[in-house]
Amino acid sequence: MLGLLYDVHGNLPALEAVLGDARALGVHGWVVGGDVVLFGAWPAETVARLRELADASWLRGNTDRWLDDDSDHPPVATAAAEDCRAALDAAAVRELVELPFEVREGEELYVHASAASDMRSFMPKPADDEGELLEAIPGGVALLVFGHTHLPFVREARGVRLVNPGSVGMPLDGDPRAAWAVVHDDGRVEHRRVGYDHERSAASLVDRFGDKEWTRTIAGRVRNARFS
């Protein structure tokens, strides 16, 4: 049974809630699907907790890349990346920046957003650029797992199952509960939600990093489970 932990975003209480749910299920392996720490109040603590997981494969998301690459930062990320780097040691920053773009296991491919990009992803309903994203999927892949949009769903396109587990640390579908998913041993995908004190996680951003534009913006997203 494989646990899918995507878009944790340094939200340690959400992560702990998900790991508690996973213990009850007997999850024995993990994919940490990128966007591990940026925008959360507990960057170092989140990395340390995820390092404790046995049999875990990690991959890099766009915000992990942003710790060392500001070429496509949105404005809210610039100050956030500076604060996040300051909260981590150099080895942790390097480890996150150097994570692989993808992890493949047989017919299963795990990426952050899509096989084409760490910024362009699939949506719950097909978008205009979906054909291009599907073309980027390597041959022989039957299951593509990705995150990035923080919107949990599963559907099929051109014979490939597309699975977004949702976001552990910052759901954006109107439900503030932590989102994750399980791939059962028979291949069945199960989406799960876990309640936690999301108000505490929102307030802790200002407590940890100060009252700034980026902390207020992200606190609102955590609190309301909406992008804006």
Angle between helix axes 43-51 and 12-25 (nearest 10 degrees) is 20
- Tens digit of each residue's pLDDT (9 = 90 or more) over 115-171: 999 999 999 999 999 999 999 999 999 999 999 999 999 999 999 999 999 999 999
How far apart are alpha carbons 171 and 177 in whole angstroms? 7
pLDDT digits (tens, 9 = 90+) for 183-213: 999 999 999 999 999 999 999 999 999 999 9
Fold classification of 2-101+146-152+162-224 (topology level): Purple Acid Phosphatase; chain A, domain 2 (3.60.21)
- pLDDT single digits (tens) 73-93: 888 899 999 999 999 999 999
Torsion of Cα atoms, 167 then 5 then 17 then 85, to 10°: -80
Residue 206: per-residue pLDDT:
97
Show me where the domains of the chain are located.
2-101+146-152+162-224
Strands 160-164 and 143-145: parallel
> Given this model, what pLDDT does residue 228 score?
84
Find where tokens 């699907």 sit: 33
Give me the amino acid identity at 3. G
Residues 96, 115: Cα–Cα separation, whole Å: 19
Q: pLDDT (tens digit, 9 = 90+) per residue, 14-71?
A: 999 999 999 999 999 999 999 999 999 999 999 999 999 999 999 999 999 999 998 8
